[in-house]
Structure 1
Amino acid sequence: MGKTSTQEFHLPLAQITQSPIDCTLRYLEYRKQEHHGDCAHLGLEYSGVAPFEDIASRELAAPRREPTPVSSPWCVTLLSPAATLAQLQQLLRFFADRDWPVAAVDTLAQRRDCTVLRFQLAADLEFSAAKHACLQLARDIGADLVLQPGSSQQVPALAGFDMDSTLIDAEVIDELARISGIGDEVAAITEAAMRGELDFRQSFKKRMALLKGFSETRLAEIAAQLPLKSGADRLLGALRALGCKTAILSGGFTYFANYLQRERLPVDFVHANQLAFSDGALTGDVIEPIVDGLRKRELLQQMAGELGLGLEQVIAVGDGANDIPMLNLGALGIAIHPKPKVRLEAPQSIGSFGLDAALYLFGLNDQQIERLL
């Protein structure tokens, strides 16, 4: 094993695919300039032989403070926990094979455990087919690839969030069932609903009936122990700093959503299901209207109207099948750690990182994010 070197190479974008040597990718910066040459700035970390011979190089440069303004019709963002030159090469070949010209590349994150590259594409493509092709390549290279319209690379004005398994790392109804000793039975119903195999309203009523008699005192104890999803506080904090309104739109319960809003997260609005109590315990009954997938979409659209916002200023974030209607409403619909069905049907998805990775899809880099926080 030779000495480890970190170098920035200056070369045409197309030439990047020609090296047979793999190594760690640190960053890539590129601007297509018709009359001033075609030169990319590629930061690599390698041992032994350099990946590119007879190519001008220098020590790694400091990250750019501001990403290039988006002017292309489409963007693809690579989010990798361990970025490599081989990943980049496969992605550049993927673009070339489809005749998707790369107009610019910005590095939005270049940490050891997170490299984020945003590619602007001057391409004429059909979104659904292109998205599924990106999902397949993402599986092949072990990273996330997010396709979105270039116009959506902006900070939203309203963001709607699912709660269970999205803002918190738990399914509350499953927790209640586990404590009641019926965890497996209720979890199986929840999983079927989240996979889209069972109607949410039916599954909700079945699960609530099984929880009859659960103590209200225990609910308060559970609320205080609910773990936040990784990155939830950073994402909600950044959105608040940017002036974006946020809402919990949950098929879970107002009891827990209100606790999150009051004690844990900067949330502006809460819409969820109400619990019915009698003599300090759950009755097992359901209070209408149930917040199911269609209700979430209706509520998000209604809030946008009340705030005087167009849907191009609205995004949604969720993980389950009952989130799909609202994920397909606005400028972005981001599925976070989604079920397989949701990954295929949501416009965008992130599987390798926490919620705060959504900030890269708004066009922000690490330096801008840290200033916000």
Structure 2
Amino acid sequence: MERPDTLLFTLTGRDRPGVSSQVFSTLAGFGVDVLDLEQIVLRGRLILGVLTSVPDNLPALQGAIATAAAELGMNIEIERGTGDTKIERTGRCHVTVIGVPLTAAALAGVTQRIREAGANIDRIERMARYPVTAFELALSGADVDQLRAQLAVLAAEQSVDIAVQPASLLRHGARLIVMDVDSTLIHGEVIEMIAAHAGFEAEVAEVTERAMRGEIDFEESLRARVALLKGVPASALDEVYNAIELNPGARTLVRTLRRLGYRFAIVSGGFSQITDRLAQDLGIHYARANELEIVDGVLTGGIVGEVVDRAGKARALREIAAEIGIPEEATVAIGDGANDLDMLSAAGLGIAYNAKPLVRSQAGTAINVPYLDTILYLLGIKREEIEAADAAAGVVTPAPPI
């Protein structure tokens, strides 16, 4: 019989303090090397896997580890292996699944598509249980583009959000986050709020909707809408700003990523008179938007300078990334309208946030739950880590339901 090169010990049972200590103390008595190690605790149940070299006195080690497991009240399995213990992991990627709720049927579909793609699930971690349920699956052996296309169809069928990202060192470094403003960072459209002061809210809203769906040219539509604002007093902008509602999770998203050294930019087809104040309020580093022309305290119905349109948003992302020395692959863009598509495409990770159908269909990743901080889970940050950092800083967060 061929002598084994490795031993895999798998212990399962009720978790309690001292399990790992007793196991490794037992192994230490036989002078083995630890080649691999994994441990998870799920609802108080421990699974501990230890891959070791083989000692000279193999029967004695098997007996000792079995005794240790019995004393701990745990089950033990011992597998012998031969050959190279290193597994080459290619086609590595992260799949994030988000649902409200997240059903077994949705997860069954995800795992089936992964199996059909010939990929292997190496690890599963829960990212959040409230206000959404989110899991991250680490895969190997995947064709990322093929898997993304298959899971996009499943996401629509099961009404869940699924993001597929290649595993990359960039995921662990500081990145640039570039966000749209209207209907992304904030609820609603600023231009419609201003138009209400001129009595043209309905007319402006109709044109805005068509522009966001990509049915009409953005710059043309913007100039036509702004022309309707002629005569509105500049003081109305203060009223509009005070009425703005941030989308849920906006402050948490910015606060958390700033702690990690991320840089933020808001790039908007809206107006600098609003976006500059938003940037100052939230601690956002850069802001690009259109400037409303104001003469003698009144809006003229015109725009000063070049319009920030679809191409302008992508250009702003590239310029800001170059200014701070961050590669485009390390940028994240978030938007909801057709004028965000170039920006989403230019970014390393483009996220359609509660977007129009056209945008969802063309973006690599879509989030359809109304929580901006859900994006943190796509970056590998867990809800528990966010709340722990907030608690340490004295930030009070709502308690999850029991």
| Corresponding position of 2:117 | 98
Contact 1:177 1:183 (8 Å CA) reproduced: yes
Match of 1:238 among 231, 246, 256: 256
* In 1: Cα distance, 2:374 partner to 2:172 partner: 14
AA paired with 1:358? Answer: I
Greater relative contact order (Cα 8 A, min sep 6): structure 1 or 2?
Answer: 1
* In 1: Cα distance, 2:166 partner to 2:273 partner: 37
| Corresponding position of 1:272 | 289
Alignment of 1:211-230 (within 5 A): 211-230=229-248
- Asked if residue 136 in structure 1 is aligned to residue 136 in structure 2, the reply is no
CA positional deviation for 1:133: 2.5
Q: Output one character per residue of 1:89-146: Cα deviation in whole Å (capped at 9) or x when no partner.
A: 22211212222222221111123x421111122134252x543332221122221111
* In 1: Cα distance, 2:325 partner to 2:109 partner: 43
Contact 2:144 2:165 (8 Å CA) reproduced: no
Match of 1:308 among 325, 330, 348: 325
- Asked if residue 84 in structure 1 is aligned to residue 109 in structure 2, the reply is no
Contact 1:153 1:361 (8 Å CA) reproduced: no
Contact 1:72 1:120 (8 Å CA) reproduced: no
Alignment of 1:1-373 (within 5 A): 73-111=92-130, 113-125=131-143, 127=145, 129-151=146-168, 153-262=171-280, 264-373=281-390
AA paired with 2:355? Answer: P
Q: TM-score if structure 2 supplies the norm length?
A: 0.73
Tell me: CA distance 1:188–1:251, structure 2 relative to 1, closer, same or farther (3 Å): same
Tell me: CA distance 1:195–1:131, structure 2 relative to 1, closer, same or farther (3 Å): farther
Structure 2, unmatched stretches of 5+, are 1-11, 13-34, 44-73, 75-88, 391-402
CA positional deviation for 1:364: 1.0
Q: CA RMSD in A?
A: 2.6
* In 2: Cα distance, 1:243 partner to 1:41 partner: 31
* In 1: Cα distance, 2:90 partner to 2:274 partner: 42
Q: Output one character per residue of 1:29-76: Cα deviation in whole Å (capped at 9) or x when no partner.
A: xxxxxx999999876xxxxxxxxxxxxxx9xxxxxxxxxxx9862211
- The 3-state SS of whatever aligns with 2:239 is helix
* In 1: Cα distance, 2:41 partner to 2:116 partner: 22
| Corresponding position of 1:64 | none
CA positional deviation for 1:290: 0.5
AA paired with 2:282? Answer: L
Contact 1:107 1:117 (8 Å CA) reproduced: yes
CA positional deviation for 1:187: 0.9
| Corresponding position of 2:398 | none
AA paired with 1:175? Answer: M
Count of residue correspondences: 314
Q: Output one character per residue of 1:159-213: Cα deviation in whole Å (capped at 9) or x when no partner.
A: 1111111111110011112332212211111111111111111111111111111
AA paired with 2:308? Answer: V
CA positional deviation for 1:214: 1.1
Tell me: CA distance 1:138–1:41, structure 2 relative to 1, closer, same or farther (3 Å): farther
- The 3-state SS of whatever aligns with 2:186 is coil
AA paired with 2:264? Answer: T
Structure 1, unmatched stretches of 5+, are 1-9, 11-34, 44-57, 59-69
- The 3-state SS of whatever aligns with 2:196 is helix
> Percent of aligned pairs with the same residue?
34
AA paired with 1:106? Answer: E
- Greater shift, 93-102 or 284-293, is seen at 93-102
* In 1: Cα distance, 2:251 partner to 2:312 partner: 26
Tell me: CA distance 1:38–1:369, structure 2 relative to 1, closer, same or farther (3 Å): closer
| Corresponding position of 2:18 | none
* In 2: Cα distance, 1:100 partner to 1:42 partner: 24
AA paired with 1:217? Answer: S
AA paired with 2:239? Answer: E
- Greater shift, 250-259 or 80-89, is seen at 80-89
- The 3-state SS of whatever aligns with 1:341 is helix
